[in-house]
């Protein structure tokens, strides 16, 4: 071997020896987990969860469930209540509260010592409304409160749908690319509310009926999307369409909805006694589930959860409130035109409702239950005309609204033409509509 080759081998052996010595001194490298301190840099283990305020629950109770001690919750509430417009005594049930923190463990550089982590929440956010969020950030031993005003932009969109199962399915499919699921459901509820004096959406729609709606859509910078005001809508049944147009007559305090002939969609009666409704049987013959025999079922059963509010379908006077045989707890309301509406199987009556009480359309008079001959919670609803039980679908159909005054018809016709042109557009964003930034006042 030449002198040069011997020199190269010597250098390589020396390098290998140095590497081995370093490995012996440093030991095997350790794998780190998220949240460990790597040198002087922490990889945080962040967490976040969302909770909602229960009925009758205090915000302090919710904060305790989120991990705050009693003293910390008290400090947080003091910071919150120091913010304009928040009173812990009047925070509504269902309020969304988001808590977040960092549960990282702090580990020394080579893992030879560990400091305890702090799993307590470091930030709290209360979603007071779509436009307003209150934030709390841990600040030493206390909390610092800030308020965020969320900016929304509005545009105008059209949604069209065809009914195969129900109204929700039709609008859910039509608005799938334009609204998130929750907003699609809200759009369906609002649509049903507009036509609730003319159509019972739970039982009068048929396969192939068509719906269309023009409404304002809101979008926030954070990606939120919501359904806003409905400007016009249409529902086609049996080849005939009923349309609704949002219009404010001269001297009116707020806009209402009118059909294409200029009549208010508000009528003498609501078409259904429940706002959130699901039909379980129709007028006619059925086998009674308890008596086991076929009987004329002179009314309509609306399946609903026990405790669902029952509303009066029109103005009137309570002429009976008590227990009536198979109806269980029931209420009869006599209306000005001689009609009587009957509500059966109630769990309880609303406060102050008794014979002789005056009730107004839409007011809560009782709550869904299963008293009397009932196998599950539901509302039994009947209409009596001249003391004779009638199918409510037929009896309430003739109810119509008040027409516009002549002085309003010219303006209404112009609004209607523009709205009908918008309804004729395909599903999607209406071109030429400017986007306007809006915030809460």
pLDDT tens, residue by residue, 375-424:
889 999 999 998 888 888 778 876 678 999 999 999 999 999 999 999 99
Among 130, 149, 168, where does a domain finish? Answer: 149
Which phi and psi (to 5°) does residue 334 adopt? -95, 130
Task: Taking residues 328-347, report their average pLDDT.
Answer: 95
Cα–Cα distance measured from residue 246 to residue 241, given in angstroms and rounded to the nearest whole number: 17
Residues 350 and 303 in one domain: yes
Beta strands in 130-195 (DSSP E): 132-139, 142-149, 152-162
The DSSP bridge pattern shows strands 358-359 and 316-323 to be: antiparallel
Indicate the pLDDT class of residue 159, thresholds 50, 70 and 90: very high
Task: Taking residues 222-234, report their average pLDDT.
Answer: 93
Residues 306 and 158 in one domain: no
Which element (helix H / strand E) includes 300? strand 300-303
Question: Which range of residues forms the domain containing residue 359?
Answer: 278-395
Q: Measured between alpha carbons, how far apart are the two ends of the chain, in Å? A: 91
Residues 245 and 296 in one domain: no
Query: Does 282 have pLDDT greater than 70?
Result: no
Alpha-carbon distance values, 347 to 183, 316, 418 (Å): 32, 22, 48
Indicate the pLDDT class of residue 330, thresholds 50, 70 and 90: very high
Residues 263 and 293 in one domain: no
Residues 219 and 318 in one domain: no
Q: Residue 226 forms beta bridges with which residues? A: 218
- Give residue 407's pLDDT: 96
Cα–Cα distance measured from residue 426 to residue 430, given in angstroms and rounded to the nearest whole number: 9
Residues 143 and 201 in one domain: no
Residues 300 and 385 in one domain: yes
CATH number at residue 57: 3.10.450.350
- Give residue 110's pLDDT: 43
Residues 287 and 343 in one domain: yes
Mean pLDDT over the full length of the chain: 81
Among 149, 177, 198, where does a domain finish? Answer: 149
CATH number at residue 311: 2.70.70.10
Which one is predicted more confidently, 73 or 179?
179
- Give residue 97's pLDDT: 87
Residues 312 and 419 in one domain: no
Query: Does 124 have pLDDT greater than 70?
Result: yes
Please check whether residue 19 lies inside any domain of the structure.
Answer: no
Query: Does 134 have pLDDT greater than 70?
Result: yes
Question: Running DSSP on this structure, what letter comes out for residue 410?
Answer: H
- Give residue 280's pLDDT: 40
Cα–Cα distance measured from residue 369 to residue 241, given in angstroms and rounded to the nearest whole number: 36
Please check whether residue 1 lies inside any domain of the structure.
Answer: no
- Give residue 214's pLDDT: 97
Please check whether residue 137 lies inside any domain of the structure.
Answer: yes
Task: Domain count for the chain, please give it.
Answer: 3
């Amino acid at each position: 071997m030449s002198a040069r080759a011997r020199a190269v081998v010597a250098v390589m052996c020396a390098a290998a020896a140095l590497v081995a010595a370093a490995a012996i001194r440093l030991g095997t490298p350790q794998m780190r987990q998220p949240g460990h301190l790597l040198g002087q840099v922490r990889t945080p283990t962040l967490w976040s969860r969302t909770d909602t305020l229960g009925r009758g629950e205090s915000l302090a109770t919710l904060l305790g469930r989120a991990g705050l001690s009693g003293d910390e919750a008290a400090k947080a509430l003091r910071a919150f209540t120091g913010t304009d417009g928040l009173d812990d005594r009047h925070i509504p049930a269902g309020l969304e509260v988001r808590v977040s923190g960092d549960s990282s463990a702090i580990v020394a550089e080579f893992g030879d010592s560990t400091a305890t982590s702090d799993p307590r929440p470091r930030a709290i956010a209360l979603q007071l409304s779509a436009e307003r969020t209150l934030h709390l950030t841990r600040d030493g031993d206390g909390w610092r409160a800030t308020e965020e005003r969320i900016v929304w932009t509005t545009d105008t969109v059209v949604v069209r749908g065809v009914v195969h199962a129900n109204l929700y399915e039709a609008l859910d499919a039509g608005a799938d690319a334009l609204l998130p699921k929750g907003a699609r459901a809200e759009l369906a509820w609002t649509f049903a509310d507009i036509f609730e004096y003319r159509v019972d959406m739970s039982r009068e729609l048929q396969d192939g009926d068509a719906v269309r709606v023009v409404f304002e859509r809101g979008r926030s910078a954070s990606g939120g999307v919501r359904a806003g005001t409905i400007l016009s809508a249409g529902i086609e049944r049996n080849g005939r369409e009923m349309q609704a147009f949002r219009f404010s007559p001269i001297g009116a305090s707020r806009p209402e909805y009118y059909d294409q002939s200029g009549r208010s969609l508000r009528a003498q009666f609501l078409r259904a006694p429940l706002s959130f409704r699901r039909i379980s049987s129709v007028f006619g013959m059925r086998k009674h589930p308890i008596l086991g025999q076929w009987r004329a079922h002179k009314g309509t059963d609306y399946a609903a959860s026990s405790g669902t509010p029952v509303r009066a379908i029109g103005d009137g006077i309570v002429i009976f409130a008590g227990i009536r045989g198979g109806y269980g707890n029931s209420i009869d309301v006599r209306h000005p035109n001689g009609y009587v509406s009957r509500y059966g199987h109630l769990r309880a009556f609303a406060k102050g409702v008794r014979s002789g009480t005056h009730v107004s359309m839409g007011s809560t008079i009782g709550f869904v239950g299963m008293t009397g001959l009932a196998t599950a919670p539901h509302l039994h609803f009947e209409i009596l005309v001249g003391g004779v039980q009638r199918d409510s679908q037929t009896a309430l159909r003739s109810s119509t609204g008040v027409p516009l005054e002549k002085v309003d018809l010219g303006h209404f016709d112009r609004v209607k033409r523009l709205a009908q042109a918008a309804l004729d557009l395909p599903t999607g964003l209406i071109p030429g509509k400017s986007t306007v930034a809006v915030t809460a006042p």
